[in-house]
Structure 1
Amino acid sequence: MSLRIPAGETVMFVGPSGCGKTTSLKMINRLIDPTSGTITIDGKPISESKADDLRRRIGYVIQGGSLFPHMTVADNIAVVPGLLGWDKAKTTKRVDELLDMVGLDPERYRDRFPRELSGGQQQRVGVARGLAADPPVILMDEPFGAVDPITRTRLQDEMLSIQRQLRKTIICVTHDIDEALKLGDRILILSEGGKIEQYDTPENILAAPANEFVEDFVGAGSALKSLALSRLDDVEIADAPTVRVGDSIVDVQRNATASGVRNVVVLDERGRPVDFVTAAKLRGERVENRRLEALQTVDHRATLNDALDAMLSSSHGAVVVTGGRGEYRGVASFQQIMTHIQDTHEAAESRRHGADAEATPDSVAVANTSSHTDFREQAEEGEEQ
């Protein structure tokens, strides 16, 4: 196996069970030593570093978080900074920064123990621990595989947001091709024996699979899967009327009638949406939060696939969009998303026809990989890894 991972990119390792995804990942931080070949990080062979020193410079996030049960959330995150000799003030500041980054209030969660957290919260702490010492390279082994689908989507969106801020080099193992398409800048598709079938961008894998194995692995519906490559941030969403809990219902209905508005978004005191209702159906004197469960919303970083899925369970043919801390952003309708898809398709067709007309035989794509993970492992024939 031979490949190069550019700095600051997320590369997803996918393939059937037994193809060597996790083995390959573990060789990067020497949990498994390669039997032959070399692995370099930033041009330096990892074999020249002590295993413990190497691992302290590489973040590691695995399924379920795998937190130390006898340690608090803060102590779990501070493990590697403690091994590196950070002082207490610097470590505490870093812990709070990371908890806030993964969407957990430091004041509320810092002193809790893992048993007091949900599965999704434990996984968030696991991600924070992997980022604690600010490593340039982060390894993830099925990081979101042990949580429910709704929590998994939220964790994926959180990971995308973190990566936009930090631009780490992330190598992630997953069995889910949809997750790979959503998170990866590049995808490595392996077959049994660690054979590389295709190493390419999600767009190219969907549009031009290298062979039948890749076609079968990606599965049918590549046009639908391409919805995972576009995000709500790319769509011009509507700014629907909002009301606050406690507002006069008479005033709300009068304003709605005067402006021809049918539906309104109800916000709490922190500006977070708690309901999406027809103004005429509001009852009583003051607007209340009458929902027995949380309103289903979609993060602005979510894919169009996620948004359409949420719309299927909505009675409005639209979905409320929120920001990174749950604040109200707007409302995305089915028609807005379909218009964006059509415009994107037309733009792609235009670019393709233009490229066909101007193509030259010596086109070269150059990427800046001055800092990279260079992974070279050449197994001898018949040798077991």
Structure 2
Amino acid sequence: MTAVESTTEARAAVSGAEIRLDGVTKTYRGQKTPAVDNISLTIPAGEIAMFVGPSGCGKTTTLKMINRLIEPTSGTISIGGEDIRAKKVDELRRTIGYVIQGGSLFPHMSVAKNIAIVPKLLGWNSDRIKARVDELLDLVGLDPSKYRGRYPRELSGGQQQRIGVARGLAADPPVILMDEPFGAVDPITRQRLQDELLSIQRELRKTIVCVTHDIDEAIKMGDRVLILQEGAHIAQYDTPEVVLSSPANEFAQDFVGAGSSLKRLSLARVSELDLRQPTTATVGENAAEVQQRAQANGDRSVIVLDRRNRPLGWPWVRQLKGATIVEPDEDLVNLDSRATLNDALDTMLVSGHGGAVVTGDRDSYLGIITFKTVTDFIEEMQREAEAETNGTATSLNGEHPSERISIAPTDEELESGNAP
């Protein structure tokens, strides 16, 4: 186990509850075939189950039956061993978080009031609600003092989705249902939100059921992946590793699509690799001392951290001017330790340093990942695959992965101006 794994993969106690569907069917009047036909499966407590499949396959209908937004025609759904029909509908829904595309915030309510809806319905006092709102804003990476009083129209799409997640967690429910939660944001924000949810899940260990159309998102996010065919017939329900390596039938194989070998990069996490530990500096620290420390370490750049060990920037040593270290004027893109190698490559390709800053719980700094580390790992994966198949593993373009990636400039090339 690497140092990163020991820091970031320590699992908290499970706070989720097992979900069991037994013979669940949904039939609408006037339709000959059921929308959901006799589906049975178990989602273990504390795991993320990704429901994926083509439009009309019944994945959202199945999701909504768990909190009785849609009532099953027949069959049984239990949460934590208790039949969901044993509770009144309103009582049930207050114990299940629900997050949908775009966050679905009430536009006339502030961020704090949006998050506080369910706790208020449960009769929490104002002090407890305020503390919970601030706790959740911090958890999803938003400064409570800046955001609690804002309104949805004052937030970006990604920020609105974060507030939606916070609202779903407000009453500390054991189960969270998510319906295409990241479908309305741009790809970069989507990756950040995915990583943030994985970080939150690492800390809270809820039982999360998430609907998506994106098989790559399902592979990245899920502890288990459910591939549904029309009528919510189960094509396959298994771990991402098994779904990619051993599709259960032709439909599952077609849905996973070509390039399953490349998709396996989504199974490898940044936490599996060793991170480099360059020179760091804290805001307010003496700049001259930081420069001396960096030069002694042979580093051309430093990672600037705040008082809570969160990375703020990655400036070159020559950019450290003035008596003290100040917060860099840049938009630093962090990479969560649970991010995939695909995400790492995407992030590093747009980085001016040929690497990426890696963070853990609550955005705490862990180190940096470099191109060489990733390409060495990919080459090792390729050697293992060749040993298994006794063939030659190639990319979709017939190129060796490292031959495509290693041409990226290093820190030294960028700094010296000799980058290709």
- Report the TM-score when normalising by structure 1: 0.81
SS in 2 for 1:76: helix
Q: Matched residues in 1 for 2:305 and 2:187: separation?
A: 26
1:6–1:351 Cα change, 3 Å: farther
CA contact 1:245–1:266 (8 Å) conserved in 2 = no
What amino acid does structure 1 have at the position aligned with 2:138?
D
1:315–1:349 Cα change, 3 Å: same
Q: Deviations over 1:287-322 (max 9, x none)?
A: 988976413332333221111111222354322323
1:199 pairs with one of 225, 229, 237:
237
SS in 1 for 2:109: coil
Q: Matched residues in 1 for 2:71 and 2:115: separation?
A: 27
SS in 2 for 1:30: coil
CA contact 2:116–2:129 (8 Å) conserved in 1 = yes
* Percent identical residues: 62
1:314–1:15 Cα change, 3 Å: same
What amino acid does structure 1 have at the position aligned with 2:243?
I
Q: 1:348, CA displacement in angstroms?
A: 9.1
Residue matched to 1:74: 112
SS in 1 for 2:65: helix
Residue matched to 1:8: 46
Residue range with higher mean Cα deviation, 138-147 or 208-217: 208-217
SS in 1 for 2:235: strand
Trace 1:285-324 onto structure 2 (pairs within 5 A).
293-324=330-361
Q: Matched residues in 2 for 1:329 and 1:30: separation?
A: 42
Q: 1:339, CA displacement in angstroms?
A: 3.0
2:186 pairs with one of 130, 141, 148:
148
- Whether 1:329 aligns to 2:344 is no
Q: Deviations over 1:118-173 (max 9, x none)?
A: 11111111111111111111111011111111211111111111111221111110
The number of aligned residues is: 350
CA contact 1:15–1:21 (8 Å) conserved in 2 = yes
- Whether 1:218 aligns to 2:270 is no
What amino acid does structure 1 have at the position aligned with 2:339?
A
- Whether 1:139 aligns to 2:177 is yes
- Report the TM-score when normalising by structure 2: 0.75
Residue matched to 2:202: 164
SS in 1 for 2:183: coil
Q: Deviations over 1:59-84 (max 9, x none)?
A: 11111111111111111111111212
- Whether 1:99 aligns to 2:137 is yes
CA contact 2:284–2:326 (8 Å) conserved in 1 = no
Q: 1:347, CA displacement in angstroms?
A: 7.8
1:232–1:57 Cα change, 3 Å: same
Gaps of 5+ in 1: 353-385
1:147–1:207 Cα change, 3 Å: same
1:26–1:282 Cα change, 3 Å: closer
- Whether 1:45 aligns to 2:83 is yes
1:109–1:350 Cα change, 3 Å: same
Q: Matched residues in 1 for 2:225 and 2:372: separation?
A: 31
CA contact 2:203–2:361 (8 Å) conserved in 1 = no
Q: 1:269, CA displacement in angstroms?
A: 5.2
Residue range with higher mean Cα deviation, 54-63 or 342-351: 342-351
Q: 1:106, CA displacement in angstroms?
A: 1.6
Higher relative contact order (CA 8 A, sep 6+): 1
Alignment root-mean-square deviation, CA:
3.0
CA contact 1:228–1:303 (8 Å) conserved in 2 = yes
SS in 1 for 2:301: strand
Q: Deviations over 1:337-357 (max 9, x none)?
A: 2333455677899999xxxxx
